[in-house]
Amino acid sequence: MKATPSAALLRKGRLSPYLFTLLAFILFVTILYGEDFSCTIGGQFEDYRPYRSLSSATKKKGEKLAFAVGEAESGCDVFSGRWVWDETRPLYDESDCPYIQPQLTCREHGRPDTDYQHWRWQPHACSLPSFNATLILESLRGKRMMFVGDSLNRGQFVSMVCLVHKLIPDHAKSMITNGSLTVFTAKDYNATIEFYWAPFLMESNSDDAIVHRISDRLVRKGSINKHGKYWKGVDIMVFNTYLWWMTGIKFKILQGSFDDVDKDIAEVPTEEAYRMAMKSMVRWAKKNMDPSKTRVFFTSMSPTHAKSGDWGGDGKGNCYNETNMIEDANYWGSDCRKNVMNVIGEVFRKSRYPITFLNITQLSSYRKDAHTSIYKKQWGPLTPEQLANPVSYADCVHWCLPGLQDTWNELLFAKLFYP
């Protein structure tokens, strides 16, 4: 039987209203689902599945990952453990690392206690390999390691530099910042450890490395190459992105260009916007990084400690004056990190590209004692009101160095060399 053109047209014509309805329904469900990103709807967390499978997804049987020198103890989840006191810590002294930005030098800015520097992460089922700076530098000969993301990733980058720089004499190393890119060079090794500022990974209106405090945040769809072109040729990549997305239940996405006079802006559920960025990142890695020669990591959400009510305090406080960690092993906190975890898990599970997940969220969530609080360079003079109430200007987002973020790098070390 031969369908006449008009019959075919008619069939098409009948289909489209149906398709339209279906699309509208999908959109509706997406929006509904997106709402729980804001954590305003209770009881959504049962859906949270810890994606242990992720770590196995990064390595197929018998396959040797680039940079591996050994194997992990089988069945050991290095992210599941506890903090133990270690008199031999910290791994370096604050005053011995000139690269720490004044935002993170807590002792220099008057922090009186030092206990926060002495904790070591002890996995339940094995021990972490000890951090070997020589191994890092030898492995980086003629190579580049890069951290891409926000100020928390910059902290991890600086920690990494602090952990290795002592092996290099002064004349053979340098640290240079040019715009979004900061490069630490170990000349004799022809090796670099770099940081690239891109808080959303994609192009945004917060991309200026210095002036980026923009309240009305806008990210451009399909723009990962805007920054990604500066990441090509990297051998070990460490991404993060999280906190900058957390402005509410909706997020603004630019469809065209930042130069358009009439900007085409769509407001989407934050979860959708974040998923878009994660997918773009995976796609970029797939296209630009050869998994047989390189490694890609993603550092999970860095927790904040802005409400003491979360850990049984009076609710008026935050991380200020906290010198002990949270003892409750099940502590999680009140923010939306589980929803974000779900999105990350979903995107990574669907991708065949091996990205190693650095699950630092839970182990960091105990560490209300490890933030910079008021012990950092203040960019403007403090008002008498602020001085009278230190809680009001404590930074409960960033972490003192040396400190917690050195542990993130010990975990990176473990996953890089003993995957």
Compare residues 35 and 188 and give the one whose CB is closer to ligand NAG.
188
Tokens representing 21? 């309805």
3-class DSSP state for residue 139?
helix
| Distance from C-alpha of 204 to C-alpha of 298, rounded to nearest angstrom | 20
Nearer to ligand NAG, 144 or 415 (CB): 144
Q: How many residues form the binding site for ligand NAG (CB under 6 A)? A: 21
For residue 42, give the DSSP letter.
Answer: T
**52 forms part of the interface with ligand NAG (CB under 6 A):** yes
Give yes or no for a contact between 412 and 164, defined as CB atoms under 8 angstroms apart. Answer: no
Q: How far is CA 397 from the centre of its chain?
A: 13
Q: What's the closest the beta carbon of residue 55 comes to ligand NAG, in angstroms?
A: 7
- Nearer to ligand NAG by Cβ, of 117 and 362: the residue is 362
User: Does residue 326 contact residue 383 with C-beta atoms inside 8 Å?
Assistant: no
Residue 135, interface with ligand NAG (CB under 6 A)?
Answer: yes
Q: How far is CA 372 from CA 150, 322, 411, in A?
A: 16, 11, 22
Q: Which of 321, 351, 386, 392 binds ligand NAG (CB under 6 A)?
A: 321
| CA-based max dimension of the chain | 88
Q: Does the footprint of ligand NAG cover residue 392 (CB under 6 A)?
A: no
Closer residue to ligand NAG (CB): 106 or 254: 106
Using the rule CB under 6 A, which residue among 127, 190, 247, 255 binds ligand NAG? 190
Residues 331-360 that bind ligand NAG (CB under 6 A): 341, 345, 359
146 versus 401: smaller Cβ distance to ligand NAG? 146
Under 8 Å CB-to-CB from 267, ≥6 apart: which residues? 250, 251, 252, 253
Contact residue for ligand NAG among 44, 122, 132, 386 (CB under 6 A): 132
How many Å apart are CA 405 and CA 364, to the nearest integer? 9
Residues contacting 327, CB < 8 A, separation 6+: 366
- Shortest Å distance, C-beta 9 to ligand NAG: 50
| Nearest Cα to Cα of residue 163 among 66, 86, 93, 239 | 93
Considering only CA atoms, give the Rg of the chain.
23
Rounded Cα distance between 380 and 400, Å, is 20
Would you name the residues annotated as active-site residues?
151, 395, 398
**Shortest distance (Å) from residue 143 CB to ligand NAG:** 6
Examine residue 146 and tell whether it contacts ligand NAG (CB under 6 A).
Answer: no
Q: Which of 411, 322, 337 is nearest to 367 (CA)?
A: 322
CB of 381 to ligand NAG, least distance (A): 20
Q: Does position 378 bind ligand NAG by CB under 6 A? A: no
Q: Least distance from C-beta 215 to ligand NAG, angstroms?
A: 28
Shortest reach from residue 173's CB to ligand NAG, in Å:
15
Give least dist CB 344 to ligand NAG, A: 7
What single DSSP character describes residue 65? P
**For ligand NAG, which stretch binds (CB under 6 A), given 132-140, 162-170, 209-217, 251-259?**
132-140
**How many CB atoms are located within 10 Å of the residue 150 CB?**
21
- Contact between 47 and ligand NAG (CB under 6 A)? no
* Residues at the interface with ligand NAG (CB under 6 A): 50-52, 77, 79-80, 132, 134-135, 138, 142-144, 178-179, 190, 321, 341, 345, 359, 362
